[in-house]
Amino acid sequence: MEQNDSTKQVAAIKNGTVIDHIPPEHLFKIIDILEIGDMDNTVTIGYRLPSGKMGRKGMIKIFDKTEFDQTALEKAALLAPNATVNKIIDYKVSLDKDENGGKPCLPLPEKELRNIVKCTNPRCITNNEPMPTLFTWVDRGDWTIKCEYCGRKIKKENFELK
Ligand SMILES: [Zn+2]
């Protein structure tokens, strides 16, 4: 039977995606990155929700959508690497786990960061030609990446998203 109780509509999600444990300061940027404003889907946004683990957190529930642009997810992961992503299918959380058996998180780029981060070198060709940037990891542990065009190494605190 069709569910008409609006309270239950907010609480339960039949099909969709719940992105939880987002640092509140990055919530609106992630909404922007995932282009949620351009979707027709119903979306519930929680801002500064109380969280035992984080103090305050952001949460996004997107109804009737479980697939997202991979580049957008990777970009969001750079801001919120510990955010959890649960896909709900027919009221059940899909059982995909990450490689460590934990809750699935936003996917950090595996090898390459393709057109996700800007190069900080003003003379880099990617800042002077209309072209995508390409970085590879130097060290995923301390989040250092290297521009494949000019060799500039950039640390996380200097990441500037494209
Ligand atoms: Zn560069």
Q: Is residue 65 in a domain?
A: yes
Q: Distance between CA 153 and CA 156 in Å, rounded?
A: 10
Q: Is residue 86 in a domain?
A: yes
pLDDT digits (tens, 9 = 90+) for 130-149: 999 999 999 998 999 999 99
pLDDT digits (tens, 9 = 90+) for 30-74: 999 999 999 999 999 999 999 998 999 999 999 999 999 999 999
- pTM higher than 0.85 for the full model? no
Question: Is the pLDDT assigned to residue 6 strictly greater than 80?
Answer: no
Query: Between the CA of residue 118 and those of 2, 38, 160, what are the distances in Å?
Result: 47, 24, 6
* 75 and 131 belong to one structural domain: no
CATH code for position 135: 2.30.30.20
Range of the domain at 128: 112-158
Residue 34 Cα to ligand 1 middle (Å): 25
Encoded tokens for 161 = 């998203």
Residue 83 Cα to ligand 1 middle (Å): 29
Among 63, 93, 123, where does a domain finish? 93
Q: Is residue 154 in a domain?
A: yes
Using only C-alpha atoms, what is the Rg of the chain? 18
Q: Structurally, how many domains does the chain consist of?
A: 2
* 60 and 89 belong to one structural domain: yes
Query: Between the CA of residue 28 and those of 34, 95, 149, 155, what are the distances in Å?
Result: 10, 28, 31, 23
Residue 78 Cα to ligand 1 middle (Å): 19
Question: Is the pLDDT assigned to residue 92 strictly greater than 80?
Answer: yes
